[in-house]
Structure 1
Amino acid sequence: MQEFYALIEAGGTKFNCAIADKQRNILVEKRFDTTTPVDTISAVIAFFKQQQQAGYNFRKLGLACFGPLDLNPASLSFGSITSTPKPHWSNVDIKQQLEKGLHCAVFIDTDVNAAALAEFKWGASQNTSVNIYVTVGTGVGGGVVINGQTLKGLVHPELGHMLISGVPEIKGVCPFHGNCVEGLAAGRSMAAIWQQSADSMKEDHPAWDIEAKVLGNFCHNLMVSFSPQSIVLGGGVMSKKGLLEKTIEYAEQSLKNYIVFPYNQGLKQIITAPGLGSRSGVFGALALILD
C-alpha cells in the first residue's frame, strides 16, 4: 500500500502545502498567504482534509516552520512559535493545532534546519558531516546539520542575527540588533536602507556589492565557527545574477588564506546554490518525517 505524507513549508509570507510520497514526488500542492494564525491554519487544515477525502490518507505531517520555535520535547509549549516579530504569531501552538485538526503525527523543525537536512540527504550537501543552509529572502535564517542531525541546543540556530562588522557604507535596520546579517542583507532590510525594493535594483546598483560584502563576511564567520564542508545560500535575494560569485570573492578576501583546504577544495566548492532549487524547504518537511 502506497504511503503518503503531508508537508508544510511555513514561511512568514506563504505556507506551501503539499502531498508527497517517499520518492519525493509532489502529488498535490497549494500555497496560502500567511495572514492571521486562525485564518492561515484553518485554511491549511481544510486543504489537507480535502486531500484525505480524495484518497491521500496520511498519518504523518512534516512541518518546516518559521520561528523562533520551542523545540524542546520536554517543554509544555513544544512545537509552538515563540517570540516572533511576525504580528499575531507569537505563542501560537501550531504543532498541536495541526495534530488535533488532522489527527496525525507532526514532525517539526525550523524551516532552515529542515532545508539543511534536505540538502544533506538529496542536494548540494550530500556526503558531508557539517553543512549549513542559509535563506536570504524577506529575512535571513540559517540551519545547521551535524552528522545528519539538525542542530538544536538551548533553542536552535539564529544565524541571521549574527553581528557583522566592517561594512561602514550602510546601517542595519534590525529592531533587535541593528547590524546583524538580517538587518543588513535581508530583502526587507535592503528596501528600508535603499528606499527601493531589491527586485527593482539594477545589477550595477551599489547595494549589490555591499550585499555581497555582508554575505562574504557572514560566510567567513560560518567557516570559522562550524568548519562546514557545505554552505548552501538560497532564498529570493540570492537569485540575483552574480551575487553568489561576488559573495565567495568577499569571503575569500576576508579569510585571507587562513583556512587550509583539502586538495581540490576551496570556497567555490563549499559555498553553493541549493542542489534542490526552490524545493529545499518543502523537501525539508519530508526529510523531517523520513529522518
Structure 2
Amino acid sequence: MMAYYGAIEAGGTKFCCAIGNEHGDILEEMTIPTEHPEKTIQQLIPFFKQHDIAALGVGSFGPICVQKDDPSYGYIMNTPKVEWKHYPFIPELEKQLGVPVSFTTDVNAAALGELTKGAAKGLGSCLYITVGTGIGAGAVVKNELLHGHSHPEMGHILIRQDESDTFAGVCPAHGNCLEGLAAGPAIEKRWGKPAKELTQEEAVWALEADYLAQALMQYSLILSPERIIMGGGVMKQKQLFPLIREKLAAYVNDYVDLPPLDTYIVSPGLEDKAGMTGALLLAIQAKRNA
C-alpha cells in the first residue's frame, strides 16, 4: 500500500500544501492565503487528514526556532507578520495531525529540493537564494541542511552601497542591508515602478546585479557551495544572470577558483516547486527518523 506524505511551503502571503509519494513526487496541491494562524491551520488540516499522511514536512517563513532542545522549537519567532509572532506552528500541527513533522526555513527546503531533484542534483552542496518580496538563502552542505545556533539569514548581510545610490533601504531592522537595497520592494521604492515594469532600464539591473554579486562573493568565500541557484520573482528578469556572473568575476578577481560561472550561478531546475519538493523530502526523512 502506498504511503502518502504531506508538505507545506509556508509563505508570508500564501501557504502551498501538497501530497506526495515516497519518491518525492508531488501528486496533489492546494493553496490558501496566509491569514490568522488559527484560521490558516484549520483550512489545511482537512487536506492532510483526508489522505492519511504518514508524516509532514514544513518549509516556513521566519525567523523560526529550529533547535530541537529549545522550548520554542517549532515556533515562528520575531516575524514582521504580527499575528504569527511566537506562534507554536509545529506543535500545533503535530497535535492536530498526530504524525511526525520536520521543520526548516522555506529557502532551506528549496535548497534541499534543488540538491535532490533539481539544478544541483548529484552534487553534495548548494545554496538557494530567493530574491523577491524579501531576500533569503538556504544551504545544504555535505547533504545536510545548514543549521547552527539558528538558521541562516543571508538576506540581511551588509554590503557596500554604490556611491551614486542614496536610497535609504527598506529593511525595518537594518535599513540598507542586502534585502533593504535589493529585494523587490526596494526596487519599486527606489525607481518608482515594480521590477516587472523596469525590464528595459539598464541602470536598474546594473545596480541590482552589483548588490547581488557582492552577496554571492561572500557566500562563495564562506560556504564554498558547488552551485548557487537563484529564484524568486526578481530573478525572473533573466538579464540579471549574465550581469551577476560578470560582476562576481570582477569582485573575486581570480583570488579563488570558482566553477564556470554559467553553470555555477543558475535558475531553479524545479522552477516554483523547489520549496514544496524540499518540504516533501523532509516529510519522508521525518518518517524514517521516527
Q: TM-score range by the shorter chain?
A: over 0.9
CA shift for structure 1 position 205: 5.1
SS, match of residue 58 in structure 1: coil
Aligned residue in 1 for 2:288: none
In structure 2, what is the Cα distance between the partners aligned to 1:37 and 1:87? 10
In structure 1, what is the Cα distance between the partners aligned to 2:124 and 2:232? 23
Q: Which moved more, 1:91-100 or 1:30-39?
A: 30-39
In structure 2, what is the Cα distance between the partners aligned to 1:187 and 1:39? 28
SS, match of residue 59 in structure 1: coil
In structure 1, what is the Cα distance between the partners aligned to 2:190 and 2:141? 35
Aligned residue in 2 for 1:154: 149
In structure 2, what is the Cα distance between the partners aligned to 1:165 and 1:176? 17
Quick one: which of 274, 282, 285 aligns to 1:288?
A: 282
Give the residue type in structure 2 aligned to 1:32: I
In structure 1, what is the Cα distance between the partners aligned to 2:94 and 2:245? 42
In structure 2, what is the Cα distance between the partners aligned to 1:208 and 1:41? 39
Q: Retained in 2: the 8 A contact 1:61–1:105?
A: yes
SS, match of residue 88 in structure 1: helix
Quick one: which of 132, 137, 158 aligns to 1:163?
A: 158
**Cα offsets for 1:193-219 (capped at 9, x unmatched):** 223222222322522221111111111
Aligned residue in 2 for 1:13: 13
Q: Retained in 1: the 8 A contact 2:7–2:283?
A: no
CA shift for structure 1 position 136: 0.8
In structure 2, what is the Cα distance between the partners aligned to 1:45 and 1:57? 11
Q: Which moved more, 1:28-37 or 1:145-154?
A: 28-37
**Cα offsets for 1:6-32 (capped at 9, x unmatched):** 110111111001111123332221111
In structure 1, what is the Cα distance between the partners aligned to 2:125 and 2:37? 34
In structure 2, what is the Cα distance between the partners aligned to 1:194 and 1:129? 39
Matches of residues 209-228 of structure 1 in structure 2 within 5 Å? 209-228=206-225
Give the residue type in structure 2 aligned to 1:64: G
CA shift for structure 1 position 166: 4.0
Any unmatched runs of 5+ in structure 1? none
Quick one: which of 67, 72, 86 aligns to 2:67?
A: 72
Q: How many residues align?
A: 283
Give the residue type in structure 1 aligned to 2:156: H
Q: Retained in 2: the 8 A contact 1:173–1:184?
A: yes
Matches of residues 73-222 of structure 1 in structure 2 within 5 Å? 73-168=68-163, 169=165, 170-204=167-201, 206-222=203-219
In structure 2, what is the Cα distance between the partners aligned to 1:110 and 1:89? 15
Any unmatched runs of 5+ in structure 2? 286-290
Q: Which moved more, 1:170-179 or 1:229-238?
A: 170-179
**Cα offsets for 1:217-236 (capped at 9, x unmatched):** 11111111111111110111
Q: Retained in 1: the 8 A contact 2:199–2:237?
A: no
In structure 2, what is the Cα distance between the partners aligned to 1:202 and 1:124? 25
In structure 1, what is the Cα distance between the partners aligned to 2:47 and 2:114? 27
Question: In the superposition, relative to structure 1, how do residues 120 and 25 fare at CA in structure 2: closer, same or farther (>3 Å)?
Answer: closer
Q: Retained in 2: the 8 A contact 1:165–1:179?
A: no
Q: Retained in 2: the 8 A contact 1:17–1:29?
A: yes
SS, match of residue 142 in structure 1: strand
1:3 matched to 2:3: yes
SS, match of residue 119 in structure 2: coil
What's the C-alpha RMSD, in Å, of the aligned pairs? 1.5
Give the residue type in structure 1 aligned to 2:200: E
Matches of residues 197-276 of structure 1 in structure 2 within 5 Å? 197-204=194-201, 206-261=203-258, 265-276=259-270
Identity of aligned residues (%): 40
